[in-house]
């Protein structure tokens, strides 16, 4: 029943984009930058009491919402590039059948192999960019949910100070849940920005190839 909203596969595929390009092993530098570094900064924000306020929550919710919408549009751009790339592969395969009957030279064969490798690398880059965009959309949605939850907790705590009847146990739980959710918000925020720069770099490479 939960298969249609299971996002763990997306998280796994995002981690696979941090592997070395010609190897199945992970790039240690990328693991440190995209996974460990955000955790360190998020933990430091908790130590130095960089708390989320209602104004900051509103700003972050608005920002995540805007970027999520833009990234959805970027997915359409990736789909368009994939469609064009697949069309070129079909056309070149058709051309290859005609050239093979005419005994092509070694130079032309080497040229075809280079084109095939380029197309293969481009397909992989497109897939990884698609996964990175989908991952960023996912963590932005999760962050919005966490931020709204923190906001509601703040409001509940404020109403309790004004005399509203709130279970003391609930307020006690809020004191532990709010820092935990704040940690993940900071973690996802930093990771979101770093992944956004990676997406921008990959889109730049892909579009640059389109002009060649």
What's the per-residue H, E or C state across 58-90? HHHHHHHHHHHHHHHHHHHHHHHHHHHHHHHHH
CA distance 15 to 131: 10
The whole-model pTM stands at: 0.83
Report whether 147 contacts 61 (CB < 8 A).
yes
CB 79 within 8 A of CB 134: no
CA 210 to chain centroid, in Å, comes to 23
Are 136 and 192 spatial neighbours (Cβ–Cβ below 8 Å)? yes
Q: pLDDT (tens digit, 0 to 9) for every residue of the chain, 212 residues total?
A: 677 888 899 999 999 999 987 778 899 999 999 999 999 999 999 898 888 999 999 999 999 999 999 999 998 888 887 777 666 555 555 555 444 444 555 665 566 666 666 667 788 888 999 999 999 999 999 999 999 999 999 988 888 776 666 777 888 888 899 999 999 999 999 999 999 999 999 888 878 876 66
CA 207/CA 212 separation, integer angstroms = 9
């Amino acid at each position: 029943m939960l298969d249609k909203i299971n996002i763990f596969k997306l998280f796994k595929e995002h981690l696979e984009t941090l592997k070395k390009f010609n190897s199945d092993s992970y790039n240690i530098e990328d693991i440190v930058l995209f996974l460990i570094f955000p955790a360190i900064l998020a933990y430091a924000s908790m130590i130095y009491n960089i708390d989320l306020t209602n104004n900051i929550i509103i700003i972050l919710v608005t920002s995540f919402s805007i970027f999520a919408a833009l990234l959805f549009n970027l997915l359409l751009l990736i789909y368009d590039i994939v469609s064009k790339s697949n069309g070129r592969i079909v056309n070149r395969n058709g051309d290859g059948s005609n050239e093979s009957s005419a005994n092509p030279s070694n130079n032309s064969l080497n040229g075809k192999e280079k084109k095939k490798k380029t197309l293969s690398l481009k397909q992989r880059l497109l897939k990884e960019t698609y996964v990175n965009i989908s991952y960023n959309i996912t963590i932005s949605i999760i962050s919005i949910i966490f931020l709204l939850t923190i906001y509601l907790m703040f409001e509940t705590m404020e109403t309790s100070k004004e005399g509203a009847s709130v279970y003391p146990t609930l307020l006690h739980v809020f004191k532990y849940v709010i820092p935990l959710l704040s940690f993940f918000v900071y973690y996802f925020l930093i990771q979101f920005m770093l992944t956004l720069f990676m997406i921008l770099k990959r889109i730049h490479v892909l579009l640059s190839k389109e002009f060649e």
